[in-house]
Amino acid sequence: MAAYANEKLAAYRRGMRGKKAAVLGMGVSNTPLIEFLAQAGAAVTAFDRSEEEALAPQIERLSGLGVEYRLGPGYLSGLRGFDVVFRTPGIRPDIPELAAERERGARLTSEMEAFLALSPCPVYGVTGSDGKTTTATLLYEILKAQGYVSHLGGNIGRPLLPEIDSMAPGHVAVVELSSFQLMGMEEGVDVAVITNISHNHLDVHSSYAEYVGAKANIVARLKPGGLCVLNYDCDETRRVAEAAPGRVAFFSRASDLAAGGAKAHGCDALGCDALGCDSLACDAVACVCGSACVIRKAGCSPHRVVDVSDIRLVGEHNVENFLAAALAAYAANASFAPCQGHGAGEQVPRAAAAAVARSFAGVEHRIEFVRELGGVRYYNDSIATSPSRTLACLNAFSQRVVLVAGGKDKNSDYSRLGERIAEKARALVLCGDTSAKIRRALDEYISASGAPSIPVIECAGYEEAVKAARAQALPGDVVVLSPASTSFDRFKNFEERGQLFKRLVDALP
């Protein structure tokens, strides 16, 4: 079959020929972007705060493409006279250097914005404070199981612009979007999913209001006729729904949203007896009814997708993630408009979603099982860079937990975490800059409530922390690394932190 002729992409390449393009950052997404722009005929200058020695692999990959470099301290001082500037998500769009270059006539954009503008296929965008990587991956797997040629990328660590030549209108793309990518973004997606919004990244965002506004931008920029899939249990996402320009679908783990006439449709067995999507004035809902995950479109009867107990992922938060992904695949599918009752078209995504629920074991560093030793199970949840993620991790286990926590702070509130540690943990092992804040939250809760104290061990490094956690755990317990903090006090990223933890656990005799 001949490759799809993407006219927008061809025109974009022609338009970039001879343009002076600045690319800020030479990370995972931007090195392929530099390659793409240089091959299109742009005069590319790459900017990065790292020195040349640290960027040797990227520079070697780009050799022969005529790329110029501005590297090291003060690297942005040469940002002047460009036609277009591609921002890395780690750089705020309102810094003085970018503001000055925009005033001189430069257009500010990003790799993700370029992809969204040029994609020939529908794009599902997934954001949220917690769960966005798992939800995006679940959605990708469900769409793939439905038979779509599917592409997964974005903040998950994979740029999609280099793959765009292989995409066609009949394909689908799923992109994970961070608040940093969404700040100032002007391009939109076809389906916008927000898993939840809670206090996060306040070390970078100027305020919580700015952070919420960045997340909400995925809905504000929704393409005409698009769909928003939002968490009904989260106050912030319900508020986002009020201003949604397109169709809305809600998912909920805590509320039975599927009722709304269920008994009239002969679905008494689902046990639906609360608010329905007709009452909510939304297009579709997904929720837990009794023991089952259920999806319902407005005007239709609810349909069982899978039993909650059949979802392979651990934790109630992953039930939410599954509901979000299944609802996005279901409600956005053209086969479901208008209502088709129990027609064959509905069976395809429900069967695909159920199959993925039973088989998908999760994404690395997200409550990832490492090994069992002496009756103790070890898990790596290095992705838990905020207290809310660690709360979800603790709630995922019925067993007593030995928690390994601590890292770099991002102005987070640890008070609720102190209470949950006191309730769930057999012991707390601390390692990192936030150790004192986490310990203080635990001590304050114990002092105020009269709860029994638990052992707290502060360690200088991870080797000591893993050994201490093993010494505290009893058969039947869980040891989990769930730091409630970023990794930047001593690691490049949370992946490096998680890999070290797994190596140390695997090395335990």
Q: Which residues pair with 229 in a beta bridge?
A: 193, 249
Domain boundary among 359, 392, 420: 359
- Overall domain count for the chain: 3
401 and 497 part of one domain: yes
Q: What distance in Å separates the CA atoms of residue 299 and residue 479, rounded to the nearest whole number?
A: 47
Instruction: Return the number of other C-beta atoms located less than 10 Å from residue 95's C-beta.
Output: 13
414 and 297 part of one domain: no
Q: What is the DSSP letter of 200?
A: -
CATH of the domain at 228: 3.40.1190.10
350 and 229 part of one domain: yes
User: Residue 47: which of 176, 33, 116 has the closest Cα?
Assistant: 33
Contact 326, 221 (CB under 8 A): no
**pTM of the shown model:** 0.79
Q: What distance in Å separates the CA atoms of residue 239 and residue 30, rounded to the nearest whole number?
A: 34
Write out the residue range of the structural domain in which residue 373 sits: 368-506
333 and 285 part of one domain: yes
Q: What distance in Å separates the CA atoms of residue 405 and residue 235, rounded to the nearest whole number?
A: 28
Within-domain flag for 261: yes
Within-domain flag for 36: yes
Q: What distance in Å separates the CA atoms of residue 133 and residue 195, rounded to the nearest whole number?
A: 10
Domain boundary among 359, 381, 397: 359
478 and 381 part of one domain: yes
Q: How far is CA 127 from CA 150, 160, 196, 468, in A?
A: 18, 17, 8, 36
Q: 344-359 and 316-332 helices cross at what angle (nearest 10)? A: 150
143 and 206 part of one domain: yes
Instruction: Please name the residue that has the structure tokens 């277009």.
Output: 84
Q: Which residues pair with 295 in a beta bridge?
A: 286, 303
Tokens representing 266?
Answer: 């002969």
217: left (phi over 0), alpha (psi -120 to 50) or beta: alpha
Within-domain flag for 117: yes
Instruction: Return the number of other C-beta atoms located less than 10 Å from residue 344's C-beta.
Output: 8
Contacting residues for 318 by C-beta, under 8 A, at least 6 apart: 131, 134, 311, 362, 367, 396
User: Residue 34: which of 111, 135, 131 has the closest Cα?
Assistant: 111
State the Cα angle at 200 between 199 and 204, rounded to 5°.
125
Contacting residues for 12 by C-beta, under 8 A, at least 6 apart: 40, 114, 117, 118
Contact 132, 126 (CB under 8 A): yes
Q: How far is CA 360 from CA 126, 290, 315, 318, 353, in A?
A: 18, 22, 13, 11, 10
Within-domain flag for 6: no
Per-residue pLDDT of the chain (509 residues; tens, 9 = 90+): 457 889 999 999 999 999 999 999 997 778 889 999 999 999 999 999 999 998 999 999 999 999 999 999 999 999 999 999 999 888 888 899 999 999 999 999 999 999 999 999 999 999 998 889 999 999 999 999 998 999 999 988 788 998 899 999 989 999 999 988 998 899 999 999 999 998 766 666 778 888 888 899 999 999 988 999 999 999 999 999 888 888 899 999 887 565 543 332 223 333 444 445 555 567 888 999 888 999 988 777 788 899 999 998 888 889 999 999 999 998 876 433 333 333 334 445 788 999 999 999 888 888 899 999 999 999 999 999 989 889 989 988 889 999 999 999 888 889 899 999 999 999 999 999 999 999 999 999 999 999 999 999 999 999 999 999 999 999 999 999 999 999 988 898 999 999 999 999 999 99
Contact 130, 386 (CB under 8 A): yes
How is 304-321 classified by DSSP, letter by letter? EEEEGGG--S-SHHHHHH
Task: List strands edge to edge, sheet with 478-481.
Answer: 368-373, 376-380, 478-481, 401-405, 425-430, 456-458
132 and 75 part of one domain: no
Domain boundary among 109, 124, 141: 109
User: Residue 200: which of 214, 187, 219, 190 has the closest Cα?
Assistant: 214
